[in-house]
Chains A and B, each alone.
Chain A
Amino acid sequence: MTGYAQLDLAASVGQILPELVATAAFLLAVVVDLVSRRRKEAVCAVVLAGCIAGLVLSLAQLKAGQSLIFAGMAAADPLAAILKAVVFLATGLVALFSLGSPEIRMSGRGEYYSLLLVVAVGACFMASAMNFVMVYLATELVTVTSCILVAHAKDDRRASEAALKYILFGAAASGVMIYGISLLYGATGTLSLTGVSRALVSGQVPGLVAVLGVVFVLAGIGYKIAAVPFHFWCPDVYEGAPTPITAFLSIVPEAAGFGLLIRVYMLGFGERMGQGWAAAASLDWPSLLAVVSALTMTLGNLGALHQTNLKRLMAYSSIAHAGYILMGFVALSKTGLNAMIIYIIVYLFMNLGVFAVLIGLSRRLASDQIASFRGLGGRAKFPAFAMTVFLFSLTGIPPLAGFTGKFYLFAAVIDAKIYWLAIVGALNSVVSLYYYVRIIKAMYIEAGETEGGPIQLPALYTALLVALVVPTVVLGIFWGPLAGMTEASLRFLF
């Protein structure tokens, strides 16, 4: 890429300040875990400080221009910066969620909080990798560490099963991905994204090798974002993992995965064609991706329809949302990529919001079953209201943030004149209403047990819910500044 300036080693260090701070916080957390008496709170505070620092430093990088660092291993550009900010924001929120969760065991608390930061650092590198080795390493760091977090509740058989599934599927996906990378390396002699792109564009790579290499690499990324047909791990892992980790998995690896997808496809396999981009290999990539997007959202939504367990339902819902976000990618335009980033950000607020309600009430709810939400509207007024806001936002009903996201996605697809995909997306929104409303119906319309009286939410969770409801509503009514920021972060690609 011509736009990138090469930075030497010393200058490069300055560009990974967020990651460095997070790593330092991780090490400090390990030490604090050993010496502190109030371990849980102290470790969480350190992790939180690391996330806040990471968030601030990432936002500061938004306007810093674009450069290749560490001899082209990674990039420092606005796209990476905005995704890093998303990662740190989500990680900090999840750390806070975990404080009151009964599922996070006392004995392992220190390692739990510090490992969150390790995943965050891995995700940051996923979002900024410019070399296929880096792509692979960062993806593995995220997968392996996430797996430890999923298995956090060692005595819980469901969690162990979930972790095993996660690691097995992950290993298979990594294997496929590294096979694809080896094919591309063998054919082009380089591992840098831009080098592969140049070789593919020049046409010196045999068509079949190029197609297989690209498909295999995309398959590895597809696993991270839970796109059909690489989504099978998702429901079991979401159901089995501790709820804060489920929330974490629904945002952090997903956001990093989409960042990686944009970067690898646009810079590694792509060639600029006028306003849009075209992949170098000789396949109709937009149509293929459109089919993947349509299948992902449709199967996700159909799978969610009859779930009775809320965490499992949210797993299918997150598959569906991955499908929606892919719509933006299919358009391969600036509007499309912009829509993806906006959607990821609004998705962070509304999806974490659902999990915040679930965790905050977990001590008072009988189970994760939707049935245990019955009558909650009368007993826990604010959490039920917040849940309603988040669920309607996930459905995409205005004036909530989820609608803003969907509006951008539909606009991108219609601007690209892929009308059939827009219609599939629209129909999927209607289907999703059915299962989200089942929860709302349980809370407000179905009579539940009223014994036990009103439920008082811990103050921490009330504050968290307020912090998530406000952006979910405000970004539905006024999102100009957000759109300005995301648009600026993509300007360098076009």
Chain B
Amino acid sequence: MGDHILSWVTFLPLLGAAIILFIPSAAKNAIRWTAVAATAVTLVLGIWVYLQFDRSNPGIQFAERAPWIGAFNIEYFMGIDGLSAPMLILTTLLCFLCIPASWGIEKGVKGYMALFLLLETGMIGVFASLDFFLFYIFWEVMLLPMYFLIGIWGGPRREYAAIKFFLYTLLGSVFMLLAILALYFSHSPHTFDMTRLMLENSYARTFQIYVFLAFFVGFAIKVPVFPFHTWLPDAHVEAPTAVSVILAGILLKMGTYGFLRVNFPMLPQAAVWFALPMAVLGVINIVYGALCAMAQKDLKKLVAYSSISHMGFCLLGFAALTSAGFTGGVLQMFNHGTTTAMLFLLVGVIYDRAHHRDIDGFGGLAVRMPIFAGITSLAFFASLGLPGLSGFISEALCLIGAFPVFPALTIIATLGIVLTAAYFLWTLQRMFLGPLNEKYKDLPEINAREVFTLAPLGIIVIVLGIFPMPVLDLMSASLNQLAAIFHP
């Protein structure tokens, strides 16, 4: 099994989905527990990968390869390095937590769970594949379940949100396909092997720039980078809770993952050329996202815009093209994945009880729901970058990495941190403090199932805030190697 561990991790959820298809629709609990089992075993394998991962090796580990389509030299090529390993583990963890978070779904449980597991396979596949063709297939495979999950199980405007998400991401991915083919035909011999394309640095600069831009559009839509972000508030708000968690926690990271996996190592000259625009876009994301979040009345929309803001730190860190910047960016990807997952889960908790998300419609909830208020405060503080919690370290690393290269932009970016603190604290005040809203004097406290989904994330947020080495260890060798391309 050790030789094919990545295939197991990737396809176990799919196997679970196949089993679910054979369970009668009426046996809802059997379906739910099968989904729990499938994601739990996947998580265990993910942890096994985490433990076995050789932290000193910057190269590809757990590699598997087999020829697939001879005519185009397409291979089944899986493998992970320090960049993909944290993302892969995060994916298995969040997917496992999302199943209990979806326990309340009553309509079409079978379809929901099967699609969710298919989605997990797609996501893990994206992080684990190293053949461009395979990568593209996994990338696209995610779209279909996502469309149905938002479209069928979403909120009132789900039809609009689902198709908007689908059209936007397909637009990005067709450009990515063209860029992949352009790289394939420019490399001699023609290859889709991403590791070999990473070693090739001899493309003409203008060619690099065009291909870079095509990839950038594809990935930027996923992140999403301003001005490609307009699908995000719609999709996040309309999606059911668990799907919002996956969208914000993992799908957004695929964009930033793509920058580091594809754009930077394969097209380094273009990356240098594009570093300043990228930093500017990152700062726009940070400040604009924070300002938008501040203006929201809907709690879920606020969290959605806060994601745009936080992903901007990744862009700013990456644009520095230094080891510190890369490390900060990737750590921010991981930390944002955990904190934003908490935030969306918490929004789901309160929405299930109050059936609305209007921030001003609550008030004084801390009296009725002290545990909920406590966990929410933890997530808010982590998200706004309070020292001692995980968000602080990664954001600080991004800023430290970016400052020597873009001092002015970095100073503007710190403004975003102030704004973030402002909107989170203001929200905390409006929801939990002050006199208790009479309407909610009987609101039940957060239950054990919900605490179960939140507790692991809360622990990670605290532990990584004090001691980030468990994740930093994983990525540093590979990211140092990446930075060496730009600073030999």
Contacts and interface: CB of A to CB of B under 8 A. Distances in A.
A169 interface: no
Interface in B68-109: 68-72
B23 interface: no
Contact of B174 (A399, A429, A483): A429
A423 B178 CA distance: 8
B375 interface: no
Interface string A46-78: 000000000000000000000000000000000
A445 B159 contact: yes
B347 interface: no
A141 to B, nearest CB: 36
A483 B69 contact: yes
A81 B69 CA distance: 24
A444 interface: yes
B362 to A, nearest CB: 31
A422 B178 contact: yes
A24 B182 CA distance: 50
B71 A444 contact: no
A392 B147 CA distance: 12
A491 B163 CA distance: 43
B167 A410 contact: no
B38 to A, nearest CB: 20
Interface stretch (A100-108, A127-135, A430-438): A430-438
A427 interface: yes
B281 interface: no
Interface residues of B, number: 31
Contact of B177 (A399, A410, A484): A410
A411 B70 CA distance: 15
A445 B162 CA distance: 10
A480 B182 contact: no
A103 to B, nearest CB: 32
Contacts of A484: 71
Interface in B132-184: 136-137, 140-141, 143-144, 147-148, 151-152, 158-159, 162-163, 166-167, 170-171, 174-175, 177-178, 181-182, 184
Contacts of B70: 480
A120 B87 CA distance: 55
Given A411-B72, A415-B185, A445-B152, A430 B141 contact: no
A478 B159 CA distance: 33
Contacts of A433: 166-167, 170
B174 A427 contact: yes
A426 B171 CA distance: 8
A397 interface: yes
Given A445-B152, A445-B158, A478-B69, A410 B178 contact: yes
B258 to A, nearest CB: 17
Contacts of B140: 397-399, 403
A380 to B, nearest CB: 15
Given A441-B163, A444-B151, A430 B174 contact: yes
A437 B163 contact: yes
B136 A398 contact: yes
Interface in A362-418: 392, 397-399, 403, 407, 410-411, 414-415
Contacts of B177: 407, 410, 426
Given A430-B171, A479-B69, A437 B178 contact: no
A254 interface: no
B137 A398 contact: yes
Contacts of B152: 444-445
Which of A392, A398, A399, A427 has the largest count of B CB atoms less than 10 A from its CB?
Answer: A398
Contacts of B174: 426-427, 429-430
Given A433-B167, A433-B170, A426 B69 contact: no
A429 B178 CA distance: 12
Residue picked from A403, A445, A483, A487, most chain B C-beta under 10 Å: A445
A483 B170 CA distance: 26
B218 to A, nearest CB: 11
B332 to A, nearest CB: 31
Contacts of B71: 480, 483-484, 487
5 contacts: A415-B181, A434-B163, A441-B159, A441-B163, A445-B151
Interface of B: 68-72, 136-137, 140-141, 143-144, 147-148, 151-152, 158-159, 162-163, 166-167, 170-171, 174-175, 177-178, 181-182, 184-185
Given A433-B166, A445-B162, 6 more contacts: A403-B140, A410-B178, A411-B181, A414-B182, A441-B159, A487-B71
Interface of A: 392, 397-399, 403, 407, 410-411, 414-415, 419, 422-423, 426-427, 429-430, 433-434, 437, 441, 444-446, 478-480, 483-484, 487
Q: Which 9 A-B pairs have the closest CB atoms?
A: A426-B174, A414-B181, A398-B137, A445-B151, A398-B140, A430-B171, A483-B71, A430-B170, A399-B137
